[in-house]
Chains A and B, each alone.
Chain A
Amino acid sequence: MRFRTQLRDSRTFSKLTASLSSLGKVCWMRLEYEVIRFTIIPDQGTQVWASIPVGTIFDDTTYELESNSDAINIEVNISVLNRALRSAWGSTHSQLRLTKKDKTPLLALTVLASEWTEGNMALATNNDADGFGDDANPEAPADTTGDRGPRERQTWITQEIPIKILHESAVEGLHEPHCPDPEVHIILPNLAQLKSISDRFTKLASTDSKSRQLGVMAPEAPGMHSVSFSGSGASTAATALSTNSSPKLELSANMHGSLRLAIATDELRIASVWSDLVNPPLDPAQMTQEQMSQLPSELNRKREASEGFESGWAKVRIDGKDWSRVLSIGRLSPKVVACFINEMALVLYVYLPGNRDGEESCLTYYINSFTT
């Protein structure tokens, strides 16, 4: 078993791991000859399956992989990997390899960081704090450490990240979720905008439920309590339970370029609507024309807008905080196709920009819809 490569784009790799780490700590990383797969399946919340061509993050000319099963499966703490990759920013040389130390398998990241330094001539003469040994000559230390002028400072950094090697049989049972055909697929608007609005909504709804709790506390003050408040007291209990999980956003879209983000609580109801978004065509290579025309999304596409505003929409209810974590992938400025399976799930296909050779880096997010 052997894996060794130079990093081609440590910044993209680092951003990718940062986005992935928001969903869960334990990441199954599958190294193959052509692609690197990252999978995170948290106990609850959104799961992500990413497939990144080797050349997107690694230098394919130095990429070495040897394994009996044509792939190496490892389990790594993705936030630890992300933190380690920070050392590789702006470096001229960084290598990642699989190794072993004291029987613990490791991913070793070796980085040569170069940085221009002005030298420390000025400070070097300031030796008054030096009471060291019998060194009477303040100039002497300069000789021992040599050239002090401006030069390139080179620092070697090694990060040893503990990992777990997974046997092929351990990952056999893992596969992407099966979903029914989506009713609507649509390209999401700018993720930064979508995220800031979503976060704003989530925040409004959570502060709303907090203030409501405080509001209901007041009637229970001495002298204020009466039978007539018992009704609202019961609803308080329900609110208190629901505040444990964050507010749910309603996300809906149709096949006519509209996306609607809404949140509703007892006291507020807000919605943002985007229109003129793109409903991308499906790949004709995947299926026949006839099959395609029977898909729910294509049927929806054919619906006339005149059939009424409410028809042809697919809606999901998603957790505000979880959604915010999913949208952290926005830092890689990808193109995102959202597939709506009405009242069931939202599947996001996230395509990273700047891929060479037409090979696409794709991350697939599976987000469950909550029932009302």
Chain B
Amino acid sequence: MTSVSLSLGPPALVRLHDALICLSKFSETVAIEAEPDILRLSALNSTKTGFASFAFEKGVFFEAYSFSSSSGGRSGNVSLNRFFCQIYIKALLSIFRGRIERNKDTAVERCDIELHEDLQQTECRLTVKMICGLGVIKSYKLTYEPAAIQHAVFDKSKATSMWTADPRFLKQLIEHFSLSAEQLDMYSDSGRAVFTSFTTKITEGKEVLKHPVHTSVAADKRDFQDYMVEENMHVAINLKDFKAVVAHAETANATVTARYTRPCKPLQLEYRFEGVNAEFTVMTRGQADIDDAPSSTRATIPRQTPAPIPISASKHHDTRPSVTPSTQMPPPPPRSRSIRPLNGSSTQENLSHKASADRPATSGLSMDFDSLFVPADDDRQWDEMNEEEEPQDILGWDASGTQDAFGASIRDAEPSFPKQDGSHAEDPDDEMGIPPTQRLSQVRQYGLFD
């Protein structure tokens, strides 16, 4: 039996609506995670190259917040103070749309959201109650579905480049870019921060006029509040994601901080405001620099992080979960209901086709497309690996998804995740060996785990 109930005042309701709009630019569904002190909304895009997350703090953001969970209904399960599910964003948005900032008598005064999940109940709903003026109460019941929540894990302490800027300033930069531009390359060049938009689309030789415009904007470093970026290192991200972040940061009037290390490794945009911590982890592309890679992992370990769906575990009986070096996010609890991963196997197939189709387009620019995840069990991903590409990265993913493919009987025997997680995170040698997010099938080749 898990129950979550919370109350929002009108300003928080606006914030929630803004956050949902921002998330809707990443995915169609929003993952909701409730913890005793925090409510997190997150979205992972279909190509798994962008992950958006908003964490709302219990004491600051909400008028009231309570979370209770008991493992009573789930015999044998590891009890964790965590509940998660996913909802179609449009369904949530339609509730909040237009209910805000109206100077009418029936303007919303408070919004109560409740969720009770009980295994004994056949029907569980998320209820949203809008308490309006003149005693009007509007109630909505939404269906949600269980989900395997995936998190992009980003180690801030390892970031080597970072900048901080006012979102309005960033918006001014973006406005110069053509509407059809898809990618944004950023680098530092002798005192200036250069942002270039480009598109990696193949265009027929004849259709020169349809070639995209390259726009580059060079701003003074002083226009940033902080600017500590490695000189001449090009890092490119999806422009649409960047626009979504800047647009939201502007509504929140929060200063955006970007942290990253190298091309083909994740970049994180972050800001905090009013008890909300917004984090966007996106994959970058660019020319990977081999020399910087740890030599032990260079040659054979692919740069992609594996999918959190444990295909390898189902093949080998070694069910040791892949662990992440993250201390931020303990894995969610195992679920007793059957869980479908965020991306079913059929969509995985499509994704991989798409990814491989994208690839030739990028070669001309010696840019490389990279997913934050590797679609499960898709060996073509490895086939196309370029020798020049960056090997494994410190990016890890929360292992929560690994629950899914296990049968209930196996899961019952699993060790508690937080312990494992913690012990690995504290291990200083962790980054030296095999990055912990390797597919087990890969790892086995080294004979370390045989």
Residues of chain A touching chain B, judged by Cβ–Cβ distance below 8 Å, are 25-26, 75-77, 80, 83-84, 86-87, 104-105, 117, 120, 123-124, 126, 128-133, 141, 144-148, 151, 153-164
Given the known interface contacts A75-B209, A145-B221, the answer about A132 and B259 at a Cβ–Cβ threshold of 8 Å is yes
Measured between beta carbons, the chain B residues less than 8 angstroms from A104 are 208, 211
- The residue that B272 contacts in the complex, of A128, A144, A157, A158, with Cβ under 8 A, is A128
Most B CB contacts (10 A, CB to CB) among A128, A153, A159 go to: A159
- The residue that A129 contacts in the complex, of B209, B213, B270, with Cβ under 8 A, is B270
- Cα–Cα distance between A274 and B220 once the two chains are bound (Å): 56
- Of the 9-residue stretches B57-65, B121-129, B224-232, which lies at the interface with chain A? B224-232
A-B contact pairs, 12 of them (CB 8 A): A87-B215, A104-B208, A105-B208, A120-B223, A123-B166, A133-B159, A133-B162, A145-B221, A153-B223, A155-B223, A157-B216, A159-B176
Contact B228 A144 (CB under 8 A): yes
List which B220-258 residues lie within 8 A (CB) of chain A.
Answer: 220-228, 254-255, 257
Contact B213 A159 (CB under 8 A): yes
Given the known interface contacts A145-B221, A145-B225, A153-B220, the answer about A163 and B209 at a Cβ–Cβ threshold of 8 Å is yes
Question: A130-B226, A145-B222, A145-B225 provided; 5 other pairs, C-beta below 8 A?
Answer: A25-B209, A84-B213, A155-B220, A156-B192, A162-B211
- Cα–Cα distance between A193 and B138 once the two chains are bound (Å): 48
Residue of A nearest to B192 (CB): A156
Contact A123 B156 (CB under 8 A): no
Number of interface residues of B (CB under 8 A): 40
List which B158-189 residues lie within 8 A (CB) of chain A.
Answer: 159, 162, 164, 166, 172-173, 176, 178-179
B93 lies within 8 A of chain A by Cβ: no
User: What 4 pairs across the A-B complex have the smallest Cβ distances?
Assistant: A162-B211, A141-B226, A156-B218, A160-B214
B271 lies within 8 A of chain A by Cβ: yes
Given the known interface contacts A83-B179, A159-B215, the answer about A164 and B166 at a Cβ–Cβ threshold of 8 Å is no
- Cα–Cα distance between A344 and B52 once the two chains are bound (Å): 60
Contact A164 B208 (CB under 8 A): yes
Contact B220 A84 (CB under 8 A): no
Contact B255 A161 (CB under 8 A): no
Given the known interface contacts A129-B257, A129-B272, the answer about A158 and B215 at a Cβ–Cβ threshold of 8 Å is yes
Contact A162 B208 (CB under 8 A): yes
Measured between beta carbons, the chain A residues less than 8 angstroms from B156 are 131-132
- Cα–Cα distance between A133 and B224 once the two chains are bound (Å): 18
- The residue that B217 contacts in the complex, of A77, A131, A144, A157, with Cβ under 8 A, is A157
Contact B209 A154 (CB under 8 A): no
Contact B213 A80 (CB under 8 A): yes
Measured between beta carbons, the chain B residues less than 8 angstroms from A151 are 222
Please give the distance in Å from A173's CB to the nearest CB on chain B.
Answer: 20
Contact A161 B219 (CB under 8 A): no
Contact A155 B219 (CB under 8 A): yes
Residue of B nearest to A144 (CB): B228
Contact A130 B164 (CB under 8 A): yes
Measured between beta carbons, the chain A residues less than 8 angstroms from B270 are 129
Residue of A nearest to B160 (CB): A133
Please give the distance in Å from A115's CB to the nearest CB on chain B.
Answer: 8
B94 lies within 8 A of chain A by Cβ: no
- Cα–Cα distance between A151 and B223 once the two chains are bound (Å): 10
B157 lies within 8 A of chain A by Cβ: yes
Please give the distance in Å from A179's CB to the nearest CB on chain B.
Answer: 30
Please give the distance in Å from A326's CB to the nearest CB on chain B.
Answer: 23
- Cα–Cα distance between A26 and B162 once the two chains are bound (Å): 42
B210 lies within 8 A of chain A by Cβ: yes
- Cα–Cα distance between A160 and B208 once the two chains are bound (Å): 13
Measured between beta carbons, the chain A residues less than 8 angstroms from B272 are 128-129
List which B190-221 residues lie within 8 A (CB) of chain A.
Answer: 192, 208-221
Given the known interface contacts A83-B178, A159-B176, A162-B208, the answer about A154 and B220 at a Cβ–Cβ threshold of 8 Å is yes
Measured between beta carbons, the chain A residues less than 8 angstroms from B222 are 145-148, 151
Most B CB contacts (10 A, CB to CB) among A132, A133, A156 go to: A132
- Cα–Cα distance between A5 and B333 once the two chains are bound (Å): 66
Measured between beta carbons, the chain B residues less than 8 angstroms from A26 are 209
Given the known interface contacts A132-B156, A144-B227, A156-B192, the answer about A77 and B162 at a Cβ–Cβ threshold of 8 Å is no
Contact A76 B220 (CB under 8 A): no
Contact B224 A132 (CB under 8 A): no
List which B320-338 residues lie within 8 A (CB) of chain A.
Answer: none
Please give the distance in Å from A306's CB to the nearest CB on chain B.
Answer: 56
Contact B271 A157 (CB under 8 A): no
Residue of A nearest to B162 (CB): A132
Contact A120 B209 (CB under 8 A): no
Given the known interface contacts A132-B162, A156-B218, the answer about A126 and B255 at a Cβ–Cβ threshold of 8 Å is yes
Measured between beta carbons, the chain A residues less than 8 angstroms from B255 are 123, 126, 129
Measured between beta carbons, the chain B residues less than 8 angstroms from A161 are 213
Contact A145 B226 (CB under 8 A): yes
- Cα–Cα distance between A190 and B226 once the two chains are bound (Å): 53
Measured between beta carbons, the chain B residues less than 8 angstroms from A77 are 209-210
- Cα–Cα distance between A75 and B206 once the two chains are bound (Å): 12
Contact B208 A163 (CB under 8 A): yes
- Cα–Cα distance between A155 and B217 once the two chains are bound (Å): 7
Please give the distance in Å from B269's CB to the nearest CB on chain A.
Answer: 11
Contact A155 B209 (CB under 8 A): no
Residue of B nearest to A103 (CB): B205
- The residue that B225 contacts in the complex, of A84, A105, A141, A155, with Cβ under 8 A, is A141
Measured between beta carbons, the chain B residues less than 8 angstroms from A86 are 176
- Cα–Cα distance between A303 and B257 once the two chains are bound (Å): 77
Contact B214 A155 (CB under 8 A): no
- Cα–Cα distance between A144 and B161 once the two chains are bound (Å): 13
Contact A87 B271 (CB under 8 A): no
Most A CB contacts (10 A, CB to CB) among B159, B179, B211, B219 go to: B211
Contact B220 A120 (CB under 8 A): no
- Cα–Cα distance between A131 and B257 once the two chains are bound (Å): 10
Measured between beta carbons, the chain B residues less than 8 angstroms from A153 are 219-220, 223
Contact A160 B215 (CB under 8 A): yes
Measured between beta carbons, the chain A residues less than 8 angstroms from B257 are 129-130, 132
Measured between beta carbons, the chain A residues less than 8 angstroms from B217 are 155-158
Contact A157 B228 (CB under 8 A): no
Measured between beta carbons, the chain A residues less than 8 angstroms from B215 are 84, 87, 157-160
Measured between beta carbons, the chain A residues less than 8 angstroms from B224 are 145
Measured between beta carbons, the chain A residues less than 8 angstroms from B225 are 120, 123-124, 141, 145
Please give the distance in Å from A358's CB to the nearest CB on chain B.
Answer: 35
Measured between beta carbons, the chain A residues less than 8 angstroms from B173 are 155
Contact A157 B166 (CB under 8 A): no
- Cα–Cα distance between A159 and B271 once the two chains are bound (Å): 30
Residue of B nearest to A101 (CB): B214
Please give the distance in Å from A321's CB to the nearest CB on chain B.
Answer: 23
Please give the distance in Å from A164's CB to the nearest CB on chain B.
Answer: 5
- The residue that B213 contacts in the complex, of A83, A130, A145, A148, with Cβ under 8 A, is A83
List which B68-106 residues lie within 8 A (CB) of chain A.
Answer: none
Measured between beta carbons, the chain A residues less than 8 angstroms from B226 are 130, 132, 141, 144-145
- Cα–Cα distance between A83 and B192 once the two chains are bound (Å): 24
Residue of A nearest to B223 (CB): A153
Most B CB contacts (10 A, CB to CB) among A83, A87, A104, A129 go to: A129
Please give the distance in Å from B333's CB to the nearest CB on chain A.
Answer: 28
Contact A141 B208 (CB under 8 A): no
- Cα–Cα distance between A26 and B207 once the two chains are bound (Å): 11
